[in-house]
């Protein structure tokens, strides 16, 4: 007889805890294993997951994917990736988590793979985009059985499952290296003004100021204040430093992939700081046409990142353009942290597309064979078509042709 085993994306919260007996009773699995993936969550979340799996008698596997996730976050920096005004955090973490769980499932000869996502959110799509490329059965008990939060709480109480009060707090919170999201309860009301209690990474802005220097090589941030630093340490350090100045808060009405509009609150100090610094350096080293076209490339990358589709052919093609532009995005950016902002106040690069002599109002010399009076011809042509259009319209309204031969007067 075949031993049916399923790997469950396990957090230790209400949804995934309830899924354990349901996978056995409703789906007929002989064994459930729990898999928790570390992408920078607080240590207490792993303690909770371990205690819960131990109480349930499950084998529990923890995968450290912080470096892989941090690398993807820095790829997002090169693409200036934001969605509707905030840096992608949860969205980028999900494919990393999904791959790690799939690897454990295959290693332990599982026949199924499961998550505790509802049918209203984005995460179900992000997980399954990875998993459905395998031969494993994909199971989603909360979605497929139409479970509600209240039903799960009652079920957990009846079965004496090891969860306290359902979710351990009033809000649904998701934390990783790159961002912390807070939703649910009264925050679902767009008109509700949240208090400081929802924030954990950021302090209320004060009048204090600090300047930091971030070094980039080919678009990747590699150093802080003159010291080389790896991706994980850089992100963690900037979350602490920038967060202490209130940097990186977003309150947004977000359009989900299924068409639902939801209210989300985010904290992302390191992400905001690095994205602002990177864009400042790009403004120095890229040509105007490169910058304008790259905004389209960046937007497409961000859309696929939001969808959890970071490994699709389109993204690989987009990254070909991004790689080409980032060859010159090397240099140092000085960022001033103050009043909830991370504001670039200085940038240097050996690839700067800038000439102080050419740009200065105090320079009368001929630069590159061009002098000020050469702009006269450009000034005459600038806006010519628009002026002509206005003249044609005025003549047509007056029922008169242009004196120098406008539209035919029949």
- What is the rounded distance in angstroms from the CA atom of residue 307 to the CA atom of residue 313? 14
Q: What is the band of 357 on the pLDDT scale with cuts at 50, 70, 90?
A: low
Nearest to 14 by CA among 183, 143, 147, 163: 163
**pLDDT at residue 368 tops 80:** no
Domain ranges for the chain, please list them. Answer: 5-172, 175-348, 359-397
Residue-level pLDDT at 168? 47
Across 121-125, 164-168, 298-302, 403-407, least confident range:
164-168
The residues assigned a catalytic role are 15, 94, 123, 172
Q: Helix, strand, or coil here: 38?
A: strand
The C-alpha atoms of residue 95 and residue 71 are separated, in whole angstroms, by: 13
pTM score, whole prediction: 0.91
- Best CA proximity match to 81, nearest among 257, 319, 353: 319
Which H or E element spans position 107? helix 90-107
Count of C-beta atoms within a 10 Å radius of residue 140 = 17
pLDDT beyond 80 at 403:
no
How many percent of the chain have pLDDT more than 90? 83
Which H/E stretch holds residue 74? helix 66-78
Query: Does the pLDDT at position 158 exceed 90?
Result: yes
- Please give the pLDDT value at position 361: 58
SS3 112: strand
Q: How far is it, in rounded angstroms, from Cα 15 to Cα 116? A: 5
Mean pLDDT confidence for 223-247: 98
DSSP state of 187: G
What's the mean pLDDT in 73-82?
98
Comparing 94 with 401, the larger pLDDT belongs to 94
- pLDDT at 184 (0 to 100): 85
Confidence check: pLDDT of 166 > 60: no
Q: Is the pLDDT of residue 389 over 70?
A: yes
Q: How many CA atoms lie within 13 A of 112 on its CB side?
A: 23
| Nearest Cα to Cα of residue 332 among 248, 245, 227 | 227
The CATH number of the domain covering residues in 5-172:
3.40.50.620
Q: Tell me, what's the pLDDT at 363? A: 59
Q: What is the C-alpha end-to-end distance of the chain, expressed in Å?
A: 91
Average pLDDT over residues 252-269: 95
pLDDT level of residue 300 (50, 70, 90 thresholds): very high
pLDDT band with cut points at 50, 70 and 90 for residue 167: very low
Two tokens, residue 404: 């120098």
What's the pLDDT score for residue 410?
Answer: 44
Q: What is the per-residue pLDDT for 182? A: 94
Tell me how far CA of residue 220 lies from CA of 228, 241, 309, 331, 396, in angstroms. 12, 19, 21, 10, 57
Mean pLDDT confidence for 29-54: 94
Eight-class DSSP state of 359: H
Q: What are phi and psi of 305, to 5 degrees?
A: -65, -40
Q: What is the mean pLDDT of residues 166-191?
A: 85
Q: Is the pLDDT of residue 406 over 60?
A: no
In this chain, the answer to whether the domains covering 5-172 and 175-348 adopt an identical fold is no
pLDDT of residue 360 exceeding 70: no
The average pLDDT across 35-56 equals: 94
The two counts, helices (H) then strands (E), for the chain are 14, 16
Q: In what order do the strands lie in the sheet with 112-114?
A: 59-64, 31-38, 5-9, 112-114, 137-139
Q: What is the mean pLDDT of the chain?
A: 92
| Residue partners of 199: CB distance under 8 A and separation at least 6 | 182, 249, 267
CB atoms within 10 A of CB 188: 13
Q: Name the band, by pLDDT with cuts 50, 70 and 90, for residue 134.
A: very high
Give yes or no for residue 170 having a pLDDT over 90.
Answer: no
Determine contact, residues 95/69, Cβ cutoff 8 Å: no
CATH number corresponding to 175-348 = 3.90.1260.10
Judge whether residue 370 has pLDDT over 80: no
Rounded-to-10 torsion of CA 303, 106, 140, 61? -90
Torsion of CA 198, 203, 204, 209, to 10 degrees: -160
Q: Is the separation of the CB atoms in 20 and 126 below 8 Å?
A: no
């Amino acid at each position: 007889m075949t031993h049916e085993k399923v790997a469950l994306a396990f957090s230790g919260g209400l949804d995934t805890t309830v899924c354990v007996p349901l996978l056995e009773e409703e789906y007929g699995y002989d064994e459930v294993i729990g898999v928790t993936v570390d992408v920078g969550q607080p240590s207490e979340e792993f303690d909770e997951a371990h205690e819960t799996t131990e109480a349930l008698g499950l084998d529990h596997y923890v995968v450290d994917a912080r470096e892989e996730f941090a690398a993807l976050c820095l790829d997002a920096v090169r693409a200036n990736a934001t969605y509707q005004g905030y840096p992608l955090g949860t969205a980028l973490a999900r494919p990393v988590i999904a791959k790690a769980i799939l690897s454990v499932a295959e290693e332990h000869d599982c026949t199924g793979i499961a998550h505790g996502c509802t049918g209203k959110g984005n995460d179900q799509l992000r997980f399954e985009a990875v998993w459905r490329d395998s031969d494993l059965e994909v199971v989603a008990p909360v979605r497929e059985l139409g479970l509600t939060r209240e039903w799960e709480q009652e079920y957990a109480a009846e079965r004496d499952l090891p969860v306290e009060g359902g979710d351990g707090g009033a809000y649904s919170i998701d934390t990783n290296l790159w961002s912390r999201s807070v939703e649910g309860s009264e925050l679902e009301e767009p008109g509700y003004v949240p208090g400081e209690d929802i924030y954990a990474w950021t302090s209320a802005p004060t009048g204090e100021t600090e300047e930091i220097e971030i070094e980039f090589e080919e678009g990747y941030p590699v150093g802080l204040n003159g010291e080389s630093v790896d991706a994980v340490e850089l992100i963690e350090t900037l979350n602490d430093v920038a967060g202490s100045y209130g940097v990186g808060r977003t309150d947004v009405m977000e359009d989900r992939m299924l068409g639902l509009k939801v209210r989300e609150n985010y904290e992302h100090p390191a992400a905001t700081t690095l994205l602002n610094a990177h864009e400042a350096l790009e403004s120095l080293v890229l040509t105007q046409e490169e910058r304008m076209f790259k905004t389209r490339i960046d937007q497409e990358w961000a859309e696929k990142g939001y969808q959890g589709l970071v490994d699709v052919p389109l993204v690989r093609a987009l990254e070909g353009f991004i790689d080409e532009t980032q060859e010159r995005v090397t240099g140092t950016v000085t960022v001033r942290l103050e009043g909830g902002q991370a504001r670039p106040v200085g940038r240097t690069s050996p690839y700067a597309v800038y000439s102080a002599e050419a740009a200065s109002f105090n320079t009368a010399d001929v630069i590159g064979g061009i002098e000020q009076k050469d702009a006269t011809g450009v000034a005459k042509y600038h806006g010519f078509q628009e002026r002509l259009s206005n003249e044609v319209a005025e003549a047509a309204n007056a029922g008169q042709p242009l004196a120098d031969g406008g539209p035919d007067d029949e």
